[in-house]
Amino acid sequence: MPLVQANLESWLWRHFPKVMNEYLIQGRDIASMLAPSLSVPEQTLTYRVLSAAIVAVVGAEQLTQPSMIEFLRDYNNEEAQLALHALTRQFELRG
């Protein structure tokens, strides 16, 4: 899982640098923030990656929102890169 985590961190820096910089300023450990979502064994890899990305960008509480639950369900079995692209568009549309 370390490679997946490193790739996700890279994606977060590329697409959400302001959020990531805030975490650095606050002294937050990004790896510790991503690890819980990435280590849920009963979910697909894509679901885990998307969950971790959602937590990093908008917070864990968003995982319980109907729109995010539906998004996770819709992209659960897609390739992770495609799903992350769709997530980026979702966040862009939300503003």
Per-residue pLDDT tens over the stretch 3-60: 999 999 999 999 999 999 999 999 999 999 999 999 998 999 999 999 999 999 999 9
Q: CA triplet 26, 28, 32: central angle to 5 degrees? A: 170
Of the two residues 18 and 87, the one the predictor is more confident about is 18
- pTM, entire model: 0.86
pLDDT of residue 92: 81
* Domain tally, the chain: 1
pLDDT of residue 95: 62
**What does the pLDDT average to over 65-83?**
89
**What does the pLDDT average to over 51-72?**
94
Which residues form the domain of 80?
2-94
**What does the pLDDT average to over 51-80?**
92
**What does the pLDDT average to over 48-76?**
93
Tokens in use for 37? 């979502």
Q: CA triplet 91, 49, 65: central angle to 5 degrees? A: 50
